[in-house]
Structure 1
Amino acid sequence: MAKIALITGATSGIGEACAHLFAREHYNLVLTGRREDRLEKLAKKLNTKYNVEVAVSAFDVRDREQVITNLEALPAKWKKVNVLINNAGLSQGLDPIQNGSLDDWDTMIDTNVKGLLYVSKVVANWMIDNKQGHIVNIGSIAGKEVYANGNVYCATKHAVDALNKGMRIDLLPHGIKVSAIHPGAVETEFSEVRFKGDKERAKKVYEGFDPLVADDIAETIWFVVSRPAHVNINDMIVMPTAQANAGTIFRK
């Protein structure tokens, strides 16, 4: 019987890359995200290319009732989740704390922290019932360091770091693995979202060096997930060669 991976934020970037990689490795998939048209298009592509089964569930992780209702509505066979990839997350704005947007703060906290919690609570209980599972939380170098104007985004990713450690402890008696991947600069839609569609400003973030791409992180996640049963990688930071820490990038 094929294993199942549930991926949040699967409509683009790291989530979409993970969907392709896990399908390639013969996992059936539960794909979630806000943009149903993208999910359906991706599901069709994966089914055709890799001959895997794909279930689609469109909802916003910020909405607790949507999360619970949509996940619990999945047929029983889809609740045998082997791997949960908590990928849904974003950054909004890049302002000093005194100028920050309250709406941006709410969006980041509700998505990056509360959304991750809502999904994890549902799926962790499935895993406990199934007596197996692996949760992979996508953090950030912003969860290890704080950089200028990163304030609330950094706070949310520090929360992910703490929650990852807490999950590891709480789920230990149930034999459920828990891991966090903390990327540095990855060129995806991330900066476009942060700068609210300003593509020119987003492009400048990655000028002068070779950033990571979504496939790099998907491959890292696969490495973590594919370790032997007795091995759990708790925490991993992944950087482009040109980046030393959150604020130090060598640009040519």
Structure 2
Amino acid sequence: MQIYICVKHVPDSAANITIVEKNRIDENLTFLLNPYDEHAVTEAVRIKDNLPDSEIVAVCLGKDDAEKTLRSAMAMGADRGLLIASDKNHDSIETAQALKAAIEQDGNPGLIFTGKESIDAEGMQTMFRIGALLDLPVATNVVNLDIEAGRAVVDCALSGGTANTYELSLPCVIGAGRGLNTPRYPTFPDVVKSKKKPVKKIAFYDLKIEPSKAGMKIVELEPLLQKREPKEIKGDAGEVAKKILRILKDEARVI
């Protein structure tokens, strides 16, 4: 089985991001493999462990620097990489078209992974667009995946801690959620081996993608301003603990 993982080269969320010219960011900062894509790579490796004849191919649309993200995916276990090279920032429509064209040109996908979203755009559209272009079923925010008898059985997480279970025929597109696994971070030998794995570079314009009648563009970016108002919690230790627990449950909703 050929397993394709569509990965994205994204700014480090811990970096100091500066907006320039109203609609783009200063790219003189650290970029890395989209964190949700780490779960996709890890799951692909798990499947390959059970199906040793499988091949894992990481695919990325981006500038030449995005090869670093492909190397990260290969250090985590992908066998080779495809870089669709472009200096342009593409919307999810063009991105899906490019990924679809590159995958079809390269091989015959038995399974396609993405992360459930990217931490920069958070559009959550690319996996559905790939599925539509290839006429494949799609499941996103997948937190459990079983491959058996030519089908995929998935649990998709919903709000409130619930999940729906779906059965998809193969091939299909899987958007990996955080609950799917614990990412398999590479060792130093893994990193060294990844530098010897092949990356094929394809120019975006060589894919000869027909321009879409629809399109999206970034008009303006604004920094997120967080307003925090400190509150004093009074009482003895037991009372303070109860108040903190209530705040975490009812206001922050993290437990």
TM-score under structure 2 length normalisation: 0.39
Higher share of residues assigned helix: 1
Of structures 1 and 2, the larger Rg is shown by 2
* Structure having the larger proportion of residues in strand: 2
TM-score, normalization by structure 1: 0.40
Q: Higher RCO, 1 or 2 (CA under 8 Å, sep at least 6)?
A: 2
